[in-house]
């Protein structure tokens, strides 16, 4: 019989000492862990490559969407120009854009104020309550001993 991983002839399991079996298991386990880590590195590198490409493509899509929005704004000015002078059409579209930006800023500010403080307040309170409970239990335990 031969060690499959090393190609070294090995005595049958029934003839090996416990120390030999433990040493062999340890070597195989260490080799298995190293191989699994190598596989994990390769897999993460592949996934990282795909994530980078995906992020780049999303960025490119964002740039083209921004150009599309600009073109849409220009189209709105041209459509309003059919009914109003060009300066009035541009002024109306600009006002609407600033109004939308203001509303989005107010909503964003409200959301940011909800996010502060950044500490997890509920978790901190629960942890303090747990510590207080442990302190009470220790004090009660000390009183029963005395």
pTM: 0.51
> Cα–Cα distances in Å, from 14 out to 23, 29, 85, 86, 92?
15, 20, 99, 96, 91
- The pLDDT value recorded for residue 125 is 81
d(CA 85, CA 40): 65
Q: Which DSSP string corresponds to 68-101? A: HHHHHHHHHHHHHHTTS-HHHHHHHHHHHHHHHH
pLDDT one-digit tens code per residue, 102-137: 999 999 999 988 877 777 777 778 778 878 877 787
- The pLDDT value recorded for residue 26 is 85
d(CA 93, CA 88): 9
């Amino acid at each position: 019989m031969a060690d499959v991983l090393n190609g070294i002839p090995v005595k049958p399991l029934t003839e090996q000492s416990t120390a030999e079996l433990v040493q062999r298991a340890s070597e195989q386990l260490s080799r298995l862990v190293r191989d699994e880590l190598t596989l994990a590195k390769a897999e993460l590198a592949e996934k990282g490559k795909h994530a980078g490409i995906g992020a780049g493509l999303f960025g490119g899509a964002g740039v083209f969407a921004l150009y599309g929005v600009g073109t849409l704004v220009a189209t709105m000015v041209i459509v309003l120009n059919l009914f109003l002078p060009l300066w009035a059409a541009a002024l109306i579209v600009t006002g609407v854009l600033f109004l939308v930006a203001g509303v989005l800023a107010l909503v964003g500010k409200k959301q940011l104020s909800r996010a502060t403080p950044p500490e997890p307040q509920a978790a901190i309170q629960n942890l303090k309550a747990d510590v207080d409970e442990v302190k009470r239990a220790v004090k009660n335990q000390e009183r029963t001993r005395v």
